[in-house]
Amino acid sequence: MIHKFKVKSSEGSEMIDITREAGAVVRESGVESGVCHVFVPHTTCGLTINENADPDVKRDIMAKLGDAIGDDFDYRHGEGNSPAHIKSALVGSSLSVFVEDGALQLGTWQGLYLCEYDGPRTREVWLKVLPEK
């Protein structure tokens, strides 16, 4: 079964911590040991695992992505959001996280993030929690 939840961004570019929501899906699934696959069905946002202690890390990541993939190029895509598509392609649209003892297995400083590159928007996050066989 695919579990879904919505995430609303409030800025054009931002990293939104979705660790709590994903963890709740894992707990509700009843899976004690396995893997949680996380996916976004969108082409202008992405998913990443990164530090969740210092908010400057999120700022730095988004700023450098903006510097590297800026608006100062003659993009051909008519919607004007080519940088968002490129950032999404580089960061990726899916993650897999181990589940043990009914919880996501992340490092001490790690969190799951939806990376918005074309906001503000409402996004869907899809999760599939599979038990170990």
Mind listing the pLDDT tens digit for each residue in 83-102?
A: 999 999 999 999 999 999 99
Mind listing the pLDDT tens digit for each residue in 37-60?
A: 999 999 999 999 999 999 999 999
Q: What amino acid occupies position 74? A: D
Beta-carbon contacts of residue 60 (< 8 Å; ≥ 6 apart): none
Q: What is the mean pLDDT of the chain?
A: 96
- Does residue 133 surpass a pLDDT of 90? no
Are 60 and 16 contacting, i.e. CB atoms less than 8 angstroms apart?
A: no
CA distance 18 to 5: 10
| pLDDT band per the 50, 70, 90 thresholds, residue 5 | very high
CA 13-81-54 angle, to 5 degrees, is 15
Q: Where are the alpha helices (DSSP H) in 1-133?
A: 19-29, 55-68, 82-91
CATH assignment of 3-131, among 2.40.50.100, 3.30.450.20, 3.20.20.140, 2.60.120.460: 2.60.120.460
| pLDDT band per the 50, 70, 90 thresholds, residue 71 | confident
* Strand-pair category, 110-116 with 45-51: antiparallel
Cβ atoms within 10 Å of 28's Cβ, excluding its own: 11
Identify the CA nearest to 42 among candidates 98, 89, 107: 89
For the chain, the domains span: 3-131
